[in-house]
Amino acid sequence: MPKRKVISKTAPKRTQSKSKPVSDTSSSSYRDSSENPMSIEDIEEECSSNFTKFTTRLLKIDYLAKIFEEGNSDKYCYCTICDIQILCNNFLKHIQTNKHRNNTPEADRVLLDQSIFAYRKSTGDDPHQEFSANKGIEETRDYLEFIAFLMSLKLSYSQIEKVGFYLKDYALKKRLEFLKKFAFSQEVISKIASECFCPYFKEKILEDISVVAP
């Protein structure tokens, strides 16, 4: 009898389940990112040897030890200033960000700068050059912002010059602490003019008149 031709039907292709791991033919650490991307947990597990662990040595500066606590694991530290948990590897990078600096109380920013400087020096990094460059950039920015503000008040160049010289003289004499302590609201300025300056000048005018009068 002639042999029957068996016509086989092509079986439908099976789609690989996402939960099924992709076989590895090259190395144990290989992963096909398009088929089965690595999770954060996987990355942390495979790279755990590269993480800096939270220890008291990491916070060897007193000020920094006050604002940082250990995170959920020894790979993390918690910044109480920014209310955020970060990897210990990113510790130094974080405290130098604008976000951390802006969240730091103004009274503590000098301590922050000193702590960054001291920490980098303790790790063998020379912070002098970068610190000086950043400080110069910040000072230039503040200067230009101040000039722009005075110009927005439609002051003449001569008036801006006088204001600048006045503040510079006070700064050199270290007499600008009043800026932090006193208010400059319209109500306060009005009271100063009417209750302080006016009585003083009125008294001076009366004294001058009495001297001139026969």
The confidence score (pLDDT) of residue 204 equals 84
At 125, is the pLDDT very low, low, confident or very high (cuts 50, 70, 90)? low
DSSP string covering 186-210: HHHHHHHIIIIIHHHHHHHHHHHHH
Nearest residue to 79 via CA among 112, 44, 45: 112
At 132, is the pLDDT very low, low, confident or very high (cuts 50, 70, 90)? low
Question: Between β-strands 84-87 and 76-79, what pairing exists: parallel, antiparallel or unpaired?
Answer: antiparallel
Measure the CA–CA gap between 39 and 90, rounded to whole angstroms. 20
Instruction: Burial-class residue 1 by CB neighbours within 10 Å (0-12, 13-18, 19+).
Output: exposed
Across the chain, mean pLDDT equals: 75
The confidence score (pLDDT) of residue 57 equals 63
> What are the pLDDT digits (tens) for 53-70?
777 666 778 888 889 988
Mean of pLDDT values over 68-89: 89
Q: Which region among 38-52, 69-83, 170-184 has the lowest average model confidence (pLDDT)?
A: 38-52
Instruction: Look at the block and give the residue holding tokens 């662990």.
Output: 53
CB 68 within 8 A of CB 78: yes
212 or 170, which is more confident: 170
Nearest residue to 40 via CA among 5, 2, 83, 75: 75
At residue 201, does pLDDT exceed 50? yes
Number of other residues whose CB lies within 10 A of the CB of residue 36: 15
Mean of pLDDT values over 125-141: 66
> What are the pLDDT digits (tens) for 7-50?
444 444 444 433 333 333 333 333 333 444 444 544 454 455 56
CB 79 within 8 A of CB 94: yes
Task: Tell me 82's DSSP state.
Answer: T
The confidence score (pLDDT) of residue 17 equals 39
